[in-house]
């Protein structure tokens, strides 16, 4: 049974930092691309960024580029999302998701999803 479990969310003031983790089990983790998505109330789920299976390539949405960094530790079956210079508009539930092959910005391209972790940024 595949499981993706996000952790590390919480309440942070604008300008602060948080690091989210996505721990995976039940799949050949080092063969999967991992994407991070977020969904704010009343909005569609949107792509935040992704990292290829090897970790050699990362991709980011324009809204977070330069502020967020994705990394992975395949020995620990874990992917990280380091979020710096947080803004109120970063408030959302953050999800990690797994797929084979290339990073894709469309949520429907991903096979497995975590349950999400809430990030709230206050001014």
Q: How far apart are CA 88 and CA 98, in angstroms?
A: 27
Given a contact cutoff of 8 angstroms between Cβ atoms, the answer to whether 56 and 42 are in contact is: no
- pLDDT tens-digit map of 72-111: 999 999 999 999 999 999 999 999 999 999 999 999 999 9
DSSP three-state, residue 107: helix
Closest CA to 79 of 64, 97, 63, 103: 97
Q: Quick one: pLDDT band at residue 19, thresholds 50, 70, 90?
A: very high
Specify the DSSP class assigned to residue 85.
S
Q: Quick one: pLDDT band at residue 14, thresholds 50, 70, 90?
A: very high
Tokens of 123: 């001014």
């Amino acid at each position: 049974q595949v499981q993706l479990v996000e952790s590390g969310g919480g309440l942070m003031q604008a300008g602060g930092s948080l690091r989210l983790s996505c721990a995976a089990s039940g799949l050949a983790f080092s063969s999967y691309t991992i994407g991070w998505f977020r969904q704010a109330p009343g909005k569609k789920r949107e792509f935040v960024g992704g990292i290829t299976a090897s970790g050699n390539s990362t991709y980011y949405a324009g809204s977070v580029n330069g502020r967020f960094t994705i990394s992975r530790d395949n020995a620990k079956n874990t992917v990280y999302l380091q979020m710096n210079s947080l803004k109120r508009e970063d408030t959302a539930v953050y999800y990690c998701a797994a797929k084979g092959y290339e990073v894709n910005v469309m949520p429907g391209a991903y096979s497995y999803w975590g349950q999400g972790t809430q990030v709230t940024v206050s001014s």
